[in-house]
Structure 1
Amino acid sequence: MDGLTQSETRELETRLQKRQVKEFMGMFSSLVDGCFVSCVDDFSSKALSGRENGCLSRCVQKYMNATARLSERFQENNALMQQQQQQR
């Protein structure tokens, strides 16, 4: 962020934080929607059934594991690309 004034740096940081929050909320919303649609199908009671609870737990765990693995792969690919650029 060389060449930016203090005010510009603060503005950039604020915008980045807002974008991160928006992306997180989108990811969270996708998780909730996907797991709800996949697991909850009995609306005869306010409470979740044992099957629905188990399904939701597995769904959230799978989503979190997939997100973590995707992040790892992204970091690996990013490091490889940086290494290749440095060798040029």
Structure 2
Amino acid sequence: MNELLILHSDDNVGVLKNAVEKGVRQVVRDRSLVVSDSLSMGHKVAIREIRKGEMVLKYGVCIGLAKSEIPAGAHVHLHNLESRYTQIEDMETGQ
């Protein structure tokens, strides 16, 4: 069963619908990937390789830039993602 929620054709991450264990195989867009960490529901997983500096797209929206190369199946979070949320909050508050 595929545990990754992908809502937009441009997305390069999927969101876990349920917890998964390290090593679980997922099929995304006719390609197979292996989840590299045990993760709980709601975490993001790269559904293809994401290059350093590339936009990370979730639900068709850029949520940040990759701080490093992110292989398919890897957990995508603050350790390898430069979030745009802080920048957007700063723009909204005029900082």
TM range (shorter): under 0.3
Bigger proportion of residues as helix:
1
Q: Which has the higher strand share?
A: 2
